[in-house]
Amino acid sequence: MKTIDELLAEGVAGKRVFVRADLNVPLDGTTITDDGRIRAVLPTIAKLAEAGARVVVASHLGRPKGAPDPAFSLAPAAARLGELLGADVAFATDTVGESARAAVAGLTDGQVAVIENLRFNPGETSKDDAERGAFADRLAELADVYVGDGFGAVHRKHASVFDLPARLPHYAGYLIATEVGVLKKLTTDVKRPYAVVLGGAKVSDKLGVIDHLLERADRILIGGGMAYTFLKAQGHEVGSSLLQEDQIPAVQEYLRRAEEKGVEFVLPVDVVVAPAFPDLKTKAPAHPTTVAADAMPEGQMGLDNGPETNKLYASKLADAATVFWNGPMGVFEHPDFADGTRAVAQALVDSPAFSVVGGGDSAAAVRILGFDENAFGHISTGGGASLEYLEGKTLPGLAALED
């Protein structure tokens, strides 16, 4: 895999460089609530611009249905990128049409343009190779060189991620090089004890990674909505908590295998419950109570780890040498249910372990809860991509960058 440093050594002045970034930032209307992904790709874009490249930045945002949708426009991300670069950034209102061609043609050396959301074109996500390829052909007309730096999308076989690199000289940007280097530390020559913290809503989202980590981790800590399927699998009642009944047999098998292999599975011993899911807009008090994890009352919903669980999890992370964390421990967006996620983040800050926060909601939580990002070993920009890498899958976007 050639890197951007090799491209810069070859010289990029005057060349149109297509940067497939991940600007898939959360929006409240047109307001960006977390610009972490934009800042993550900034070093690549800035370095190319400084070297005189004419930089064409492309990304997806959200899941529009293959047609323009103002709610998913990249215009706010383009404006924020310009603020961070301290320079004007041109914005094209389409992907490969007249506006995109004009924006790219108007670039001078060192300037940057962002084209509109790639998923406004059905060819970006098409499962039909010919349709995807035709869109990639049109994207290729906008550039001389391709730089892949959208790690959060490398697990997708999409036109801009998989097909376009085959049509242009291609290189890995700084972010992808960093992400891959970090993930290798979680899969080869891992320093032990190796602890994994998994949260989030659904067990089904984590089945593959749990299966893979049972062969590699020393202990696995479970939180979030998925914890209640584990507790139910142990025979405990879980009230009205999120539950995937169909996953109970798989969970029971994981617990059996973990015991057989000597992998420590750690589940909540107490949980914070409320009668209903909280209002995340008003942040109105949710009237929570704390109960033992094996004594959840009927009609109550588990929404966070309890204080004893927080102490337990901190103790299980204190002596770890390597930690991977993916998924919040509760509904951290509401102050009544943020303590579990905050406790895990604080435990990683306090630990000497090499800690990786595996993207998605976990990365957002770290920032929203006010932690210094530099206090962690690495904060990934790609939750799904990180998980699939740890599952041992071949990621199309990385394979496309290989020579």
Three-state secondary structure readout of the chain: CCEHHHHHHHCCCCCEEEEECCCCCCEECCEECCCHHHHHHHHHHHHHHHCCCEEEEECCCCCCCCCCCHHHCCHHHHHHHHHHHCCCEEECCCCCCHHHHHHHHCCCCCCEEECCCHHHCCCCCCCCHHHHHHHHHHHHCCCCEEEECCHHHCCCCCHHHHHHHHHCCEEECHHHHHHHHHHHHCCCCCCCCEEEEECCCCHHHCHHHHHHHCCCCCEEEECCCCHHHHHHHCCCCCCCCCCCHHHHHHHHHHHHHHHHHCCEEECCCEEEEECCCCCCCCCCCCCCEEEECCCCCCCCEEEEECHHHHHHHHHHHHCCCEEEEECCCCCCCCHHHCHHHHHHHHHHHHCCCEEEECCHHHHHHHHHCCCCHHHCCEECCCHHHHHHHHCCCCCHHHHCCCC
Residue 360 among the catalytic residues: yes
Annotated active-site residue in 15, 16, 20, 37: 37
Decide: 338 and 332 in contact? Cβ < 8 Å.
Answer: yes
Residue 192 among the catalytic residues: no
Residue 202 among the catalytic residues: yes
Closest by alpha carbon to 116, among 73, 82, 77? 73
For helices 360-368 and 36-50, the axis angle rounded to 10 degrees is: 90
What is the Cα–Cα distance from 341 to 276, expressed in whole angstroms? 19
Annotated active-site residue in 202, 257, 311, 393: 202
Annotated active-site residue in 150, 200, 224, 360: 360
Decide: 191 and 324 in contact? Cβ < 8 Å.
Answer: no
Catalytic residues: 37, 202, 360, 384
